[in-house]
């Protein structure tokens, strides 16, 4: 059966496959359109199997919110190269998946993959795209956030996306402020909101690792005569470890130190708060790295994110956040 340019064009339009691939598919199926589609799907499966162990470290992140502004989603679709990630057709495909997820109200990655898409499913379409593009294509992350107020931020290059649910505290500037918080999250990559969310065993392991790291840095500094000030070796890593008993012990140790140094007891009240503050700073390094509210606010390094939120209003609050990245 003769293969016409119109046949090739229609198959290309339906699948996004290249002209030569469409021509080969129609030739293999003797011009049968459905047979050509099946051929391309099988080709995609073979390519996907070959590239299953490849790293898909590029891609596109999309944030999409409903008209009411109380439900938003973050979707990351990964590929292997920046060349594909910047391709208009690939970007349009990712946006179509995000809109499909929003229209169907799905909450999980698996539910999204099972949705019907152009005569197949999203899962099957990804395999087909892998065959067409020749790179591993996958939904690498998907999250839904709901709340009274939401804001989103997509970092330049569409490699990082953030959604934040918040209470505005009645402040007219809240929308702008919490967008800046979303920008902070994109830059500083916190994983949880507050220290209480840490798993206890995780904190114990991270404390040991942090102590070992600082001890090693101090030893290297001394051995190589680098001239850097020695760091205080922490006993703890998170505020969740600083119980009332721990803080009472720290204060007693400070008093003992002041007494040993011969500092007059009448001035201790002026010295102790600062030393306790330093003790907390030295023993909450994990919070500074991982906890959003504990981090120094990227847009005002004189305060933490928690302090910045409180300054916005007594009722202002971050309820939830999600950060998605490719690469």
- Dump pLDDT digits (tens) for 274-291: 999 999 999 999 999 999
Of the listed ranges 30-44, 110-124, 272-286, the one predicted with least confidence: 30-44
Give yes or no for residue 52 having a pLDDT over 70: no
pLDDT value, residue 22: 77
What's the CA gap between 316 and 322, in Å, rounded?
Answer: 18
Phi (first) and psi of residue 242, to 5 degrees: -85, 75
**Domain ranges for the chain:** 5-50, 58-190, 196-290
**Most distant CA pair in the chain: distance in Å?**
102
Arithmetic mean of pLDDT over the chain: 90
Give yes or no for residue 51 having a pLDDT over 90: no
Q: What architecture does CATH give domain 5-50?
A: Orthogonal Bundle (1.10)
The percent of residues above 90 in pLDDT, for the chain, comes to 69
Residue 267: DSSP 8-state: G
| Mean pLDDT of the region 238-245 | 96
| Mean pLDDT of the region 168-194 | 96
Of the listed ranges 51-65, 136-150, 248-262, the one predicted with least confidence: 51-65
What's the CA gap between 99 and 202, in Å, rounded?
Answer: 37
Give yes or no for residue 226 having a pLDDT over 80: no
| Mean pLDDT of the region 145-165 | 95
Contact 15, 128 (CB under 8 A): yes
pLDDT category of residue 47 using cuts at 50, 70 and 90: low
Give yes or no for residue 4 having a pLDDT over 90: no
Give yes or no for residue 190 having a pLDDT over 90: yes
| Mean pLDDT of the region 213-221 | 91
pLDDT value, residue 15: 67
Of the listed ranges 3-12, 163-172, 232-241, the one predicted with least confidence: 3-12
Report the interhelical angle of 122-133 vs 33-50 (nearest 10°): 80
What's the CA gap between 238 and 203, in Å, rounded?
Answer: 7
Question: End-to-end distance of the chain based on CA atoms, in angstroms?
Answer: 46
Give yes or no for residue 306 having a pLDDT over 90: yes
Of the listed ranges 183-192, 210-219, 220-229, 279-288, the one predicted with least confidence: 220-229
pLDDT value, residue 6: 83
Q: What architecture does CATH give domain 58-190?
A: 2-Layer Sandwich (3.30)
| Mean pLDDT of the region 117-124 | 90
pLDDT category of residue 13 using cuts at 50, 70 and 90: confident
Give yes or no for residue 18 having a pLDDT over 80: no
Phi (first) and psi of residue 299, to 5 degrees: -95, -5
Q: What would the pLDDT profile of 255-274 be if each residue is shown by its tens digit?
A: 999 999 999 999 999 999 99
pLDDT value, residue 230: 87
Contact 294, 239 (CB under 8 A): yes
184, 186, 191, 195 alpha-carbon torsion, rounded to 10°: 0
């Amino acid at each position: 059966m003769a293969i016409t340019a119109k046949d090739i064009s229609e198959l290309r339009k339906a699948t996004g496959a290249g002209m030569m691939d469409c021509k080969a598919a129609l030739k293999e199926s003797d011009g049968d359109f459905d047979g050509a589609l099946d051929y391309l799907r099988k080709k995609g499966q073979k390519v996907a199997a070959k590239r299953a162990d490849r790293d898909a470290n590029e891609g596109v992140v999309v944030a999409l919110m409903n008209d009411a502004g109380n439900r938003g989603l973050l979707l990351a679709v990964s590929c292997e190269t920046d060349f594909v990630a910047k391709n208009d057709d690939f970007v349009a495909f990712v946006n179509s998946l995000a809109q499909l997820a929003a229209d169907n109200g799905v909450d999980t990655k698996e539910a999204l993959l099972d949705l019907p898409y152009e005569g197949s499913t999203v899962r099957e379409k990804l395999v087909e795209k892998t065959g067409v593009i020749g790179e591993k294509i996958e939904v690498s992350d998907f999250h839904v956030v709901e709340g009274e107020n939401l804001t989103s931020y997509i970092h330049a290059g569409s490699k990082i996306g953030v959604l934040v649910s918040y209470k505005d505290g009645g402040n007219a500037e809240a929308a702008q402020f919490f967008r800046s918080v979303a920008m902070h999250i994109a830059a500083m990559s916190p994983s949880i909101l507050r220290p209480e969310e840490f798993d206890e065993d995780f904190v114990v392991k991270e404390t040991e690792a942090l102590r070992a790291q600082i001890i090693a840095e101090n030893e290297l500094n001394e051995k190589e005569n680098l001239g850097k000030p020695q760091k205080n070796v922490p006993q703890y890593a998170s505020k969740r470890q600083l119980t009332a008993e721990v803080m009472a012990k720290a204060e007693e140790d400070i008093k003992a130190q002041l007494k040993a140094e011969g500092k007059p007891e009448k001035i201790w009240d002026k010295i102790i708060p600062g030393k306790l503050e330093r003790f907390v700073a030295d023993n909450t390094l994990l919070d500074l790295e991982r906890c959003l509210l504990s981090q120094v606010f990227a847009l005002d390094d004189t305060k933490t994110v928690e302090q910045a939120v409180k300054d916005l209003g007594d009722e202002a609050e971050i309820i939830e956040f999600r950060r998605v990245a490719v690469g």
